Chain A
Amino acid sequence: MSLKGHFELLSNYNQWMNSKVYEAAAHLTAIDLAKDRGAFFSSILGTLNHIVVGDTIWLKRFATHPSCLNSLREVADLRNPTSLDELVFEDLGSLSEHRIWLDREIIKWISELSESDLDFVLSYHNTKGIPAKKRYSSLVLHFFNHQTHHRGQVSTLLSQAGVDIGVTDLLTQIPEETHV
């Protein structure tokens, strides 16, 4: 499978996992979702918001790749998050609606990339204003890994709150090979 093929797999996995996580979270009350559970971003709501914040920051950087000016046009217009722990949406319903839109944008963006686009070296400034130049493919890998890392925290918090989100393995999304 090509590098792009792997990122398509991860973009679909992200959408699939988010649908499961948000469906599970909907079983909890607003108070339970906002309750400080000692996680790095405090609560289930705080952690889900942080994933959106991280995704937004990175997608706006990815949008500066000349090949992505169209595919990420709407994402590029999103407001810059004010902090990594910003509650972009304070209720699960609004957050969920935004998440569904964002996940479709991510799938569209990856599907329109070429292999050579992934070899691009992206210039950007981090949240502290420090300049960096890194390989686009490596940054995309970081982007998906960051989602998985924090979604895993949400998975644990949901489990501790008595809600099981079920199967989470990427393996279930990997197609069976018909030709050897």
Chain B
Amino acid sequence: MEKHQAQQFAQEWVSAWNAHDLDKILSHYEEEFEMSSPAITKLTGESSGVLRGKDAVGEYWSGALEKYPDLEFNLLHVLRGANSVTLVYEGVLGLSAEVFHFGSSGKVARAFAHYDL
């Protein structure tokens, strides 16, 4: 992954979240992507912390957007991997880091959220 691609993804992803635009947020992901987050356990009770697919994750994120009407992400840093990106940002759960693995489609196949919980 090139630096400009990582930056492009980061800015678009944060912009979509800050606009509370669920369709735009989901447009960055593959249909059957996997989302892993301790917040999933906290908010849904799903012990594995993992949800799969746009329907399930979309429903979870829709709830998060309702729960946090003032949600705003403040991007702090973009770290580039071979075929992955890590975004460090301030969000509703404080300092956050999210790792995105990209599939052959060029969209996110797996994402791993990390919080200072």
Chain A 105-123 residues near chain B, CB threshold 8 A = 116, 119-123
B18 to chain A, nearest CB (A): 8
- With A64-B75, A69-B76 as given contacts, are A121 and B7 in contact (CB-CB < 8 Å)? no
Interface bin, chain A: 10 to 19
Chain B 64-85 residues near chain A, CB threshold 8 A = 74-78
**How many chain B residues touch A (Cβ–Cβ < 8 Å)?**
18
B interface: dominant SS: helix
The reply on A38 being an interface residue by CB < 8 A is no
Query: In whole angstroms, how far apart are the Cα atoms of A29 and B11 in the complex?
Result: 45
- With A64-B75, A69-B77, A116-B4 as given contacts, are A123 and B21 in contact (CB-CB < 8 Å)? no
Query: In whole angstroms, how far apart are the Cα atoms of A166 and B4 in the complex?
Result: 43
The reply on B15 being an interface residue by CB < 8 A is yes
Among A64, A76, A116, A125, the residue within 8 A (CB) of B11 is A64
Query: In whole angstroms, how far apart are the Cα atoms of A69 and B79 in the complex?
Result: 13
Query: In whole angstroms, how far apart are the Cα atoms of A120 and B12 in the complex?
Result: 11
B24 to chain A, nearest CB (A): 7
Are B8 and A121 neighbours in the complex by a CB distance under 8 Å?
yes
**B11 — which chain A residues lie within 8 A by C-beta?**
64-66, 120, 122-123
Among B4, B16, B21, the residue within 8 A (CB) of A120 is B4
Among A64, A67, A76, A116, the residue within 8 A (CB) of B15 is A64
Are B7 and A65 neighbours in the complex by a CB distance under 8 Å?
yes
The reply on B113 being an interface residue by CB < 8 A is no
Are B7 and A67 neighbours in the complex by a CB distance under 8 Å?
yes
Are A64 and B7 neighbours in the complex by a CB distance under 8 Å?
no
**B22 — which chain A residues lie within 8 A by C-beta?**
none
Chain B 6-36 residues near chain A, CB threshold 8 A = 6-8, 10-12, 14-16, 19, 21, 24
Query: In whole angstroms, how far apart are the Cα atoms of A121 and B77 in the complex?
Result: 18
Are B10 and A66 neighbours in the complex by a CB distance under 8 Å?
yes
Among B6, B10, B24, the residue within 8 A (CB) of A131 is B24
- With A116-B4, A120-B4, A120-B7 as given contacts, are A66 and B12 in contact (CB-CB < 8 Å)? no
> Most chain-B Cβ atoms within 10 A of its Cβ — which of A66, A122, A123?
A66
Among B4, B16, B77, the residue within 8 A (CB) of A119 is B4
- With A120-B7, A121-B8 as given contacts, are A66 and B75 in contact (CB-CB < 8 Å)? yes
Interface residues of A (CB under 8 A from B): 64-67, 69, 76, 116, 119-125, 129, 131, 133
What are 23 contact pairs spanning A and B, CB under 8 A?
Answer: A64-B15, A65-B7, A65-B11, A66-B10, A66-B11, A66-B75, A66-B78, A67-B7, A69-B75, A69-B76, A69-B77, A76-B74, A116-B4, A119-B4, A120-B8, A121-B8, A123-B11, A123-B12, A123-B15, A125-B19, A129-B19, A131-B21, A131-B24
